[in-house]
């Protein structure tokens, strides 16, 4: 069938089953947007910033497991999108970003809004393409979606020069791809799996170390089965919250810099780490030489480059976690679960000694209470997104996540401004669910223009701003490590959040008491409009436990060591 390059882009998106595209038009991609205007195969959400468009596609992908799609124009349109690409890349999120480019004849001439999108995106995409002819466009689009979702997922860029989008040619969309240099390994090596099973049966203090790869592999039921079969305790990374389910008695909680006492001590004393889709991030390991120093390590990951990158691994297994566990579980039917009884009792004692706790107050709202309260009021029906900072850690520590894909946040890159547009993406995917963006007063300022987007498309996201009038996490480090020199972290000057929300077509709440908090949540759900819920919280509350940067996991600052702060600056 004869059609333009712009039509081919739209037809490929439809052929891939994409229902929602996020984006922002501009000169180099206008032909594609003209075709979007004519088609009805997918909806297009006009974000108010390219970065937000990519984050929205990212949130859509994390909530659904499908490939998120965003479109931007050349030059600044693309460079604004780079933070979104890097965010998705660090967390292995399947995404295709289609960018407009200046005509082929202008590439390399410093033409208006020309930028080397392929060169800039090379370190922060799984793969990228510059389309050089109309004939290769259908194949490239097919490969882009395949690469994004297969193996270790990730964002793929397709940069399309403007003249190609207007050119007419034959469109034949491939049914499959053939990329000789790209053959992901899904099935684990049988011999290595048998060795790992032998190690599990011999261990006295084994520990499941669950990472975000379990979510990406949709392997959570098998992981729960593994824990149930073996009765091995488990810890989750920030990206894996929800995999085990909050009420699972084998789950110790999150580990790492803000992990709880039992989880970090378990990792410090275990004799066998069973790592499933985790990448041994420095926020998890702390001081590498002290990390799990008494343990052998089983490392299951679909990306061979990720195995033994940071720690020595005794049992490397390259493969998809779902397929590896399907191979492994039958070999563990006869495991002696009583062998680990004493280990479980030790960890139970650690949890009783230092549970994840905080001191509540009737005088001022504690952020931990606010997180727990939305868990009580909405629970497993909600999707929780977050920005980056103290509120992110409190949410990870205190929300009762019951399932994967319920918790959406920027773990690897730590992108402030991610939460609101990601929440819009999640809400477009699941309009029947309550979507709450847990944010801070610093983070929400970075993409608050998306109020207009959410209002226009009737996307009722609740933005719960835990407002301490600080860049809270930086302030916390200044408190602990810079003798309270609060350099440029005070955000006392703020907009009228309620009025701002209303000015942009939403609703706003100022919350200072627990009663107002409950009333605001109830009203926000009933009103079914995008909102800012401005919650005044204790200014000097700290996220604890905390492992100082570069320290060993077992050297935690615990809640009872919290300093008493006045309102002094």
Write out the catalytic residue numbers.
50, 112-113, 162, 473
Beta bridge partners of 316: 299
Close Cβ partners of 180 (under 8 Å, ≥ 6 residues apart):
none
> CA angle 442-427-516, nearest 5°?
55
16: nearest Cα among 246, 208, 173: 173
Please report where in the chains the tokens 């600052």 appear, as a residue. 557
313 vs 308: CA distance, rounded Å: 5
SS3 label, residue 8: helix
**213: its two tokens:** 């790869």
DSSP H helical segments within 46-130, as ranges? 50-64, 76-90, 117-121
Q: Are 371 and 394 in contact (CB under 8 A)?
A: yes
**What distance, in Å, lies between the first and last C-alpha atoms of the chain?**
69
Q: Is the peptide bond before 545 cis (omega within 30 degrees of 0)?
A: yes
Q: How many residues does the chain have?
A: 569
175 vs 187: CA distance, rounded Å: 24
512 vs 64: CA distance, rounded Å: 35
Q: How many Cβ atoms sit within 10 Å of the Cβ of residue 363?
A: 7
487 vs 475: CA distance, rounded Å: 8
Q: How many Cβ atoms sit within 10 Å of the Cβ of residue 144?
A: 27
165: nearest Cα among 29, 2, 27, 15: 29
Close Cβ partners of 384 (under 8 Å, ≥ 6 residues apart):
374, 395, 399, 401, 406, 407, 408, 435, 436, 437, 438
Q: Are 498 and 531 in contact (CB under 8 A)?
A: no
């Amino acid at each position: 069938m004869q059609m333009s390059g712009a039509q081919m882009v739209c037809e490929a998106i439809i052929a891939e089953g994409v229902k929602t595209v996020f984006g922002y038009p501009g000169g180099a991609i206008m032909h594609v947007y003209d075709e979007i205007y004519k088609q009805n195969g997918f909806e297009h959400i006009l974000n108010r910033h390219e970065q937000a468009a990519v984050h929205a596609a990212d949130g859509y992908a994390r909530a659904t497991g499908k490939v998120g799609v965003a479109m931007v124009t050349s030059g600044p349109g693309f460079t604004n999108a780079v933070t979104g690409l890097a965010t998705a890349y660090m967390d292995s999120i399947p995404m295709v970003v289609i960018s407009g480019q200046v005509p082929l004849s202008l590439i390399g001439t410093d033409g208006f809004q020309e930028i080397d999108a392929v060169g800039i995106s090379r370190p922060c995409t799984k793969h990228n393409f510059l389309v050089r002819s109309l004939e290769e466009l259908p194949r490239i689009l097919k490969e882009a979606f395949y690469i994004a979702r297969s193996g270790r997922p990730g964002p793929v860029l397709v940069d399309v020069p403007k003249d190609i989008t207007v050119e007419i040619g034959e469109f034949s969309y491939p049914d499959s791809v053939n990329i000789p240099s790209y053959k992901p390994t899904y099935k684990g090596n049988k011999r290595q799996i048998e060795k790992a099973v032998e190690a599990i049966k011999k261990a006295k203090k084994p520990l499941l170390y669950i990472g975000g790869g379990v979510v990406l592999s949709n392997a959570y039921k098998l992981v729960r089965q593994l824990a149930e079969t073996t009765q091995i305790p488990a810890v989750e990374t920030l990206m894996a919250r929800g995999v085990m389910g909050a009420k699972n008695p084998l789950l110790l909680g999150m580990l790492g810099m803000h992990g709880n006492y039992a989880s970090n001590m378990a990792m410090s004393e275990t004799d066998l780490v069973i790592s499933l889709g985790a990448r041994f991030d420095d926020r998890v390991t702390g001081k590498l030489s002290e990390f799990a120093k008494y343990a052998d390590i089983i490392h299951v990951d679909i990306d061979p480059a990720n195995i033994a990158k940071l720690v020595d691994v005794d049992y490397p297994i390259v493969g998809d976690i779902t397929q590896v566990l399907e191979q492994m579980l039958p070999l563990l039917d006869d495991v002696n679960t009583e062998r680990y009884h004493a280990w479980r009792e030790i960890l139970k004692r650690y949890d009783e000694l230092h549970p994840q706790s905080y001191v509540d107050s009737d005088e001022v709202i504690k952020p931990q209470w606010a997180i727990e309260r939305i868990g009580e009021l909405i629970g497993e029906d909600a999707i929780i997104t977050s920005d980056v900072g103290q509120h992110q850690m409190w949410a990870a520590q205190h929300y009762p996540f019951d399932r994967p894909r319920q918790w959406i946040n920027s773990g690897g890159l730590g992108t402030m401004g991610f939460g609101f547009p990601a929440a819009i993406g999640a809400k477009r995917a699941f309009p029947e669910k309550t979507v709450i963006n847990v944010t801070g007063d610093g983070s929400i300022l970075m993409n608050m223009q998306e109020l207009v987007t959410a209002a226009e498309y009737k996307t009722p996201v609740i933005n719960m701003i835990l407002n301490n009038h600080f860049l809270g996490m930086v302030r916390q480090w200044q408190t602990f490590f810079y003798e309270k020199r609060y350099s440029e972290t005070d955000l006392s000057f703020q907009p009228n959040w309620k009025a701002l929300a209303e000015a942009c077509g939403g609703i706003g709440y100022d919350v200072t008491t627990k009663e107002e908090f409950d009333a605001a949540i109830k009203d926000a759900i009933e009103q079914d409009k995008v909102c800012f819920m401005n919650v005044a919280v204790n200014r000097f509350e700290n996220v604890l436990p905390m492992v100082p940067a570069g320290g060993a996991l077992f050297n935690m600052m615990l809640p009872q060591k919290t300093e008493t702060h006045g309102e002094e600056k």
